[in-house]
């Protein structure tokens, strides 16, 4: 780290800073400028607390030079990680295509939607059994019955399933049924939940909070990694902004930013990022073009009957269309959409000369 001292820091303050730094086991390197004195710290700063340094009298600014997420950082692990979700690869050129309804609902509907998105090329099926709803009066999910249904769908269609986990007391239960555990945006800094999820061996889909910086997101991934679970897929799903045109603001630049900082894959979720089905196709393609390792889209066959988030879901036929266009984009980008394990063949390879328009 680098400490910039206050204009007018006294010699006593400078001495005190040096004493404190050396007591932490580091060497200091003083540089007296015309207006400010700067103290460079030399040694292993990985155990230092920036806050403590910032509270030393006379210190004006503390500038870290290494990222605080040691396990997640690309400096520590230069090669891109490929996460295996029960046979479906995400990262390193492999695209995860996650699709399904917001909530797990009745059995027939689940099977209908699953059949359709599997045919369209999705390789992971989603559905919420425990729903974090802003209103205590809204549908809260089917709970364990929903998990069972989801597992049944996964087994029948040979497709891994992902579902949200909201309660540290349920982690074991959910991990029994699901192939991948989702930590939702509102729980991105629920450190108790992250710690529990980090103790499982299930891959984790970690969604970016609506007011989380990218550094915050990577620190939350670090929580999971530091518990021994190396399989984290990040997800950009929109952040807060002042323009009401879209529900959230889709931060597509987060994709290359994240990929520069970490070896973990990152996918995009245009359904939650925009909240508008008419924007999902454009934003899905934009996400892939920016380098995303996958796309998460909500699909429902009768949005006006959906138990949650109906207005933002695509219809199955709309998903089929955009899935086809995403395949064309993947081909252009030299990326692979691994088939779901239960798929006997792959029928979606489009002719390379076909245009998207």
Rounded Cα gap, residues 62 and 32, in angstroms: 16
Q: Which of 77, 241, 324, 343 binds a copy of itself (CB under 8 A)?
A: 241
Tell me if 136 contacts a copy of itself by CB under 8 A.
yes
Residue 24 found at the interface with a copy of itself (CB under 8 A)? no
Sheet strands (E) in 9-106? 27-32, 37-42, 59-63, 83-85, 88-90, 94-100
| Helix pair angle (107-120, 144-157), 10° resolution | 40
Residue 97 Cβ, how far from a copy of itself at the closest point, in Å?
16
Site residues for a copy of itself, 176-205, by CB under 8 A, read 186-187, 189-192, 195
210 binds a copy of itself (CB under 8 A): yes
Choose between 155 and 305: whose C-beta lies nearer to a copy of itself: 305
Figure out which of the listed residues 10, 15, 19, 57 binds a copy of itself, where binding follows CB under 8 A.
Answer: 57
> In angstroms, what is the minimal distance from the CB of 254 to a copy of itself?
7
344 binds a copy of itself (CB under 8 A): no
Handedness of CA 20, 21, 22, 28 (dihedral sign): negative
Q: Is 78 in the site for a copy of itself (CB under 8 A)?
A: no
Residue among 7 and 345 whose Cβ is closer to a copy of itself: 7
Q: Tell me whether residue 2 or residue 343 sits nearer to a copy of itself (CB atom).
A: 2
Phi-psi map region of 92: left, alpha, beta (phi>0 left; psi -120 to 50 alpha): left
Residue 2's nearest CA partner among 19, 15, 21, 16 is 21
* Cα–Cα distance for residue pair 110/115, rounded to 1 Å: 8
What is the footprint of a copy of itself within residues 280-319 (CB under 8 A)? 282-283, 285-291, 303-306, 308-311, 313
Identify which of 122, 91, 99, 95 has the alpha carbon closest to the alpha carbon of residue 330.
Answer: 95
């Amino acid at each position: 780290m680098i400490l910039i001292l206050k204009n007018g820091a006294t010699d006593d303050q400078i001495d005190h800073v040096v004493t404190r730094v050396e007591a932490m086991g580091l060497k200091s390197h003083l540089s007296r400028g015309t207006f400010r004195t700067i103290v460079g710290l030399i040694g292993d700063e990985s155990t230092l607390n920036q806050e403590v340094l910032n509270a030393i009298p006379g210190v004006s600014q503390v500038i870290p030079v290494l990222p605080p997420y040691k396990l997640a950082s690309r400096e520590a692990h230069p090669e891109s990680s490929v996460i295996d979700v029960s046979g479906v690869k995400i990262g390193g050129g492999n695209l995860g295509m996650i699709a399904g309804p917001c909530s797990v609902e009745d059995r027939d509907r689940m099977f209908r939607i699953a059949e359709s998105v599997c045919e369209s090329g999705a390789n992971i099926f989603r559905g919420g059994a425990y729903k974090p709803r802003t209103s205590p009066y809204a549908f809260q999910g089917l709970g364990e019955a929903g998990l069972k249904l989801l597992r049944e769908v996964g087994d029948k269609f040979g497709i891994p399933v992902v579902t949200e986990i909201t309660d540290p007391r349920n982690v074991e239960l959910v991990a029994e049924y699901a192939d991948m555990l989702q930590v939702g945006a509102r729980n991105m800094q629920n450190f108790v939940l992250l710690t529990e999820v980090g103790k499982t061996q299930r891959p984790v889909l970690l969604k970016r909070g609506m007011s989380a910086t990218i550094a915050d997101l990577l620190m939350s991934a670090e929580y999971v990694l530091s518990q021994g679970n190396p399989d984290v897929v990040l997800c950009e799903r929109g952040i807060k902004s002042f323009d009401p045109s879209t529900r959230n603001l889709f931060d597509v630049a987060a994709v290359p930013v994240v990929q520069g900082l970490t070896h973990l894959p990152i996918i995009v979720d245009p359904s939650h990022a925009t909240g508008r089905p008419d924007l999902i196709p454009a934003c899905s393609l934009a996400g892939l073009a920016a380098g995303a390792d996958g796309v998460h889209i909500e699909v429902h066959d009768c949005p006006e009957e959906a138990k949650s988030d109906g207005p933002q879901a695509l219809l199955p036929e709309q998903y089929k269309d955009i899935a086809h266009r995403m395949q064309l984009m993947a081909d252009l980008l030299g990326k692979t959409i691994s088939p779901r394990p239960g798929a006997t063949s792959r029928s979606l390879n489009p002719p390379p000369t076909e245009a998207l328009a």
